[in-house]
Amino acid sequence: MLRKCLEDIAPYSPGKPIDEVKRELGLEEVYKLASNENPLGPPESAVEAMKLAAGKVSLYPDADAFELKSALAKFHDVKRSQIILGDGSNELLKLLSLAFLNPGDEIIMPKPSFGEYSRTAKLCDASVKAIPLTEDYVIDLPAMVAAISSKTKIVYICNPNNPTGTVVDKQLLKQMMHRMKDIIVVLDEAYFEFVQDENSPDGVAFFKEFPNVVSLRTFSKAYGLAGLRVGYGICHEEIVAAINKVREPFNVNSLAQVAAIAALNDGEYLEKSIRHNAVERDFLYNELKKRGFQVVPAEANFMLVDVVRDSVEVFQGLLKKGIIVRSADIFGYPTKIRLSVGLHKENEAFLKALEEYMGI
Ligand SMILES: Cc1ncc(COP(=O)(O)O)c(C=O)c1O
């Protein structure tokens, strides 16, 4: 009964939920540094906006999200018609695949990177060319471009890349654009707001210069609204129109819409969130280096740490101490963990647990 293409697809495996770990291990205090969430909690402004809107949830949401799209259009200086919203940016990856990939078409993605590019392509019976990163853990743009064939429809550039946290160079990307003219170039910028490297590209600026670029952003990370599921794409009207054909009409619920507007207008929260991440990312990086660990310098709110041992075992060892991280084994790094930046006390607790576990 099952479609053939599903045989090769594994369901998404999320980070372990805090309550599950508490229940299973009988722990009272558990810190999750596994899913690249915002440790500051949601913006108060967004919570207040949802309280006000809660009394209206008997009505369907605005299917076209007029207010949210208007706010985003103003924020990015683009047209409302160049914005598409998703149930998280994750949904937009699926919608892009559904709208553009026929069986036999091909996507090109970095390896390792966010698994949803390949999962959603395979759902459409498309094939996946996964191009290894450079030795510095950076997306190899020339190699990706060299891999383009007549079947290639979409090239995914995850910037910063998950799980490495590294960014591509905007000049190099610009040079490569003329070789990707007939292809949709998706810049997945889920962690865009955290980037400090000025040589990293801004996908929205790229879209303004190259109409085949799709910039994907999200309210899940720097804006602290992961549980609400709001992501958006900025792209050409024709791509928006295509995605609208496969989109479920009410894919962004009414509370998510008002919360996203409030968060977008809450510059203070965003600034705090970016500052916190920069400070704590440096703290973790320096403390880990001091203890002799190799860490990939990251521009996102997570980092890859080489724990030198089997990282699945390290994951389990830390779990018993109430710290949830992610083994990077699934990304092809058997001795690395992916660590999300937490609150200062969570980061300290992680360092202490790691020291205890490793006996250092
Ligand atoms: C690279 C990347 N893209 C997209 C997403 C999806 O984010 P969301 O669906 O919450 O917007 C994530 C989530 O972790 C991610 O790491």
CA of 83 to the centre of ligand 1 (A): 18
In this prediction, residue 105 carries a pLDDT of 98
Phi then psi for residue 303, to 5 deg, are: -150, 155
Best of 90, 109, 191, 302 for a ligand 1 pocket test (most atoms within 8 Å of beta carbon): 90
Question: Which atom from ligand 1 is nearest to the alpha carbon of 161?
Answer: 1
d(CA 59, CA 292): 56
Residue entry with tokens 């320096």: 286
**Distance, C-alpha 358 to centroid of its chain:** 30
pLDDT value, residue 15: 75
Cα 9 to chain center, whole Å? Answer: 20
Quote the pLDDT of residue 10.
87
Q: CB 50: neighbour CB atoms within 10 A?
A: 20
Among 13, 87, 89, name the best residue to mutate to test ligand 1's pocket (greatest count of ligand atoms within 8 A of Cβ).
Answer: 89
**Minimum CA distance residue for ligand 1 atom 3:** 190
Quick check: bond before 14 cis, omega within 30? no
**Any idea how long the chain is?**
360
Q: Is ligand 1 within 6 A of the CB of residue 34?
A: no
For 187, phi then psi, to 5°, come to: -95, 105
Instruction: Choose among 345, 305, 308, 344: nearest CA to 325.
Output: 305
Which stretches of the chain drop beneath a pLDDT of 50? none
Q: Tens digits of per-residue pLDDT, 145-196? A: 999 999 999 999 999 999 999 999 999 999 999 999 999 999 999 999 999 9
3-state helix/strand/coil string of the chain: CCCHHHHHCCCCCCCCCHHHHHHHHCCCCCEECCCCCCCCCCCHHHHHHHHHHHHHCCCCCCCCCHHHHHHHHHHHCCCHHHEEEECCHHHHHHHHHHHHCCCCCEEEEEECCCCHHHHHHHHCCCEEEEEECCCCCCCCHHHHHHCCCCCEEEEEEECCCCCCCCCCCHHHHHHHHHHHCCCEEEEECCCHHHCCCCCCCCHHHHHHHCCCEEEEEECCCCCCCHHHCCEEEECCHHHHHHHHHHCCCCCCCHHHHHHHHHHHHCHHHHHHHHHHHHHHHHHHHHHHHHCCCEECCCCCCEEEEECCCCHHHHHHHHHHCCEECEEHHHHCCCCEEEEECCCHHHHHHHHHHHHHHHCC
Ligand 1 lined by 218 (C-beta under 6 Å):
yes
User: Which of 148, 165, 146, 161 is closest to 111 using CA atoms?
Assistant: 161
Q: How far apart are CA 198 and CA 167, in angstroms?
A: 10
Ramachandran area for residue 186 (φ above 0: left; ψ -120 to 50: alpha; else beta): beta
pLDDT at position 11: 85
Domains of the chain: 4-42+268-358 (3.90.1150.10), 44-265 (3.40.640.10)
For residue 160, the ligand 1 atom closest to its alpha carbon is: 1
Can you give the pTM of this predicted structure?
A: 0.97
Tokens of 214: 């799709």
299 lines ligand 1 (CB under 6 A): no
- Of 92, 121, 43, residue with least CA distance to 230: 92
Q: Are strands 323-324 and 31-32 parallel, antiparallel or unpaired?
A: parallel
Q: How far apart are CA 220 and CA 226, in angstroms?
A: 4
- pLDDT at residue 14, rounded to an integer: 79
